[in-house]
Amino acid sequence: MAANTIAKVFPPKGDLVLEQYKAKHKDSITDPNGFWEKAAYEHLDWFEPFEEVLEGSFEHGDVRWFSGGQLNLSYNALDRQVRSEKANEIALVWEGDEPDDIRKLSYADLLRKVCQISNALTATGVKKGDVVTIYMPMIPELAMTMLACCRIGAIHSVVFAGFSAEALGQRISAAKSKFLITADIGKRGGKSIPLKKIVNDALTKGDCDEVCQHVFVWERFHKGSESEPTFEMGPKDIRMDPLVAVQRPYCPPARMDAEDSLFILYTSGSTGMPKGLLHSTGGYALYAKMTTQITFDLHPGDLFACVADCGWITGHTYVVYGPLLNGSTTFMFESTPVYPDEGRYWDMVQRHKITQFYTAPTAIRLLMRYGDLAPQKYDLSSLKVLGTVGEPINPEAWRWYYEVVGKSQCSIVDTYWQTETGGHVITNLPGVTPMKPGSCTLPFYGIDTVVLDPHTGKELTEPDDSGNFEGVMAIKQPWPGMARTCLGDHERYMTVYLKPYPGYYFTGDTVSRDSEGYHFIIGRMDDVINVSGHRIGTAEVESALVAHPAVAQAAVVGQPHDIKGQAICAFCMLTVGYEESPELVKELRMSVRTEIGAFCTPDLIVVTPSLPMTRSGKIMRRILRKIVCGETDSLGDTSTLADPSIVQTLIDKVTSLK
């Protein structure tokens, strides 16, 4: 791996600091109980102390943290700050789609509003343990609604507002969610997104109409309690703004057990049905708090900007919970990196004096394309730490981020983690860990990473010829932020994460670890592709294609893409009677948009007379992957195919389409 040879470009403050990290890390994994017990009391306020630190094991899938302890996340994120003299400090700065649409809320404002929302939900019958689906744009009310759910013990399930009615319906139905919270419209890049209309449509899918009983609607441009609704009211609809306005601005926080469910978040896996990963209150709160503070070297007065959407785990942990649990100021962003132009991020950094900025490699690659001028036009001197997440960052993009954006003065933190891990599991720490472009470097405290042999499942002990350990990325012991189960399907949780390599948590990624213990993530081992940092299950896209009557069979693979990292390439075998045409290809693209969402639209659709299948009927995706990557001289053994001649047909077809 070329990046391994790149010199350490950011020398640590002194080797001592790195040594201190190493010693502390070692302690954290040799005495996890001692480490996490101390951390839990230091970082969080508890209503009731816990009885045990860690119980259960990976083997049995019954891990639990801080049992018997009682706390409330919203109390820790809001009341705790208000009580420690932060009442008037800004908790949240929001910038809407238009750069002059700005709102600032203090901790006291946020607490009052969250309490009002909590009371509004309770008044409508939302109870502890109910699943509340949230389908909202990136407006402050989204963060407040999430916090209100935590306050009353309702389990939120945020569905990214880019998902289609079909996908939303599937998630409402799977979680048996009686309550849905949305907004009339969303705004992105100057366009309006009719969220309430999509919700209406979602409720016509499957058993959603039966399952979902109340739809709360925020109005994006609400004009006061006397105003007419901005949307057509249906029998289940409740206008959120007027309901919230009449509520008492205090609501006592629910006393939650540390292991009470906090939220679910759906994520793609190897099957067509996304998994609802369930996080617990105490462990998640602690892990979100600590990783935000330590990875980003947060200090009082910092303005922390994570530009992810709350529809993904990054938005949960690093827009909402982590920064607020630390009492710092979080920045919430509704728009895109290129609206109104490619200087948007840097303009925001200058205007708000952002100190930590956190984005994905795909955005960096996109902005890099426009050249150095945009970042050079703005004063970026407030920046201290630049974060990246979602996929491996190529060293070229890393360097641009480091040199052009950070002026070689900032640390780049390459944070490796997953929806399942709750927070960062491998990352460098600013000024502590020497950086290597393309490496997420060393594990966070309490994380015992191992590289396994994919065949034997044993930890690799001997490096390969280049001195690296390359294999399965796994974690050897539980950590507080880990998801505990898949909602309603613990067997699936066991099968996907804990059974593949007994005794270890299986990440689904492959890694190369160098002689200094630095991790370089290679990519997914399962049928998940990473498009612009979004995890997309190939099976989900395949079922969206097969939903079209013209498609008899589909096989989806990832193909390398300069900006997105990977793009979706779909091979479709048509039903007898259908002919290939540009219109049909357009319809198939549309089918994916309506079944899942526009962000999953395939870049390339290859209509083919058949697919490379084994004699037993299994599609050999390995061959398709090689064909789209142009690696046709290393196709491997094709003799087991039922019809080996299909390979050449596909090569010709793909070449003609590219």
Which positions touch ligand WTA (CB under 6 A)? 267, 312-314, 389-392, 414-419, 440, 507-509, 521, 524, 530, 535
Q: Where are the alpha helices (DSSP H) in 163-229?
A: 165-174, 195-202, 208-211
* Among 551, 546, 527, residue whose Cα is nearest residue 608: 551
List the end-to-end C-alpha distance of the chain, in Å, as a whole number: 28
Distance of closest approach, residue 11 Cβ to ligand WTA, in angstroms = 22
Between 50 and 266, CB nearer to ligand WTA: 266
Between 46 and 520, CB nearer to ligand WTA: 520
Between 253 and 392, CB nearer to ligand WTA: 392
Structure tokens at 298: 């947060």
The residues facing 470 across adjacent strands are 512
Distance of closest approach, residue 432 Cβ to ligand WTA, in angstroms = 17
Residue listed under structure tokens 């290939």: 580
Between 343 and 361, CB nearer to ligand WTA: 361
Q: Where are the beta strands (DSSP E) in 45-162?
A: 54-55, 64-65, 70-71, 90-95, 102-106, 131-135, 155-158
CB of 646 within 8 A of CB of 620?
A: no
Q: Which amino acid is at 447?
A: I
Between 58 and 416, CB nearer to ligand WTA: 416
Distance of closest approach, residue 17 Cβ to ligand WTA, in angstroms = 22
Distance of closest approach, residue 268 Cβ to ligand WTA, in angstroms = 8
* Among 138, 89, 84, residue whose Cα is nearest residue 303: 89
Between 112 and 519, CB nearer to ligand WTA: 519
Distance of closest approach, residue 222 Cβ to ligand WTA, in angstroms = 32
Distance CA 191, CA 97 (A): 9
Distance of closest approach, residue 533 Cβ to ligand WTA, in angstroms = 7
Structure tokens at 568: 């979706």
Q: Which amino acid is at 36?
A: W
Between 423 and 612, CB nearer to ligand WTA: 423
Q: How far is CA 641 from CA 617, 621, 644, in A?
A: 9, 12, 5
Between 330 and 608, CB nearer to ligand WTA: 330
Distance of closest approach, residue 267 Cβ to ligand WTA, in angstroms = 5
Phi, psi of 574 (to 5 degrees): -85, 155
Distance of closest approach, residue 300 Cβ to ligand WTA, in angstroms = 27
Q: Would you give the distance in Å from CA 370 to the centre of its chain?
A: 26
Crossing angle, helix 621-628 and helix 646-657, to 10 degrees?
30
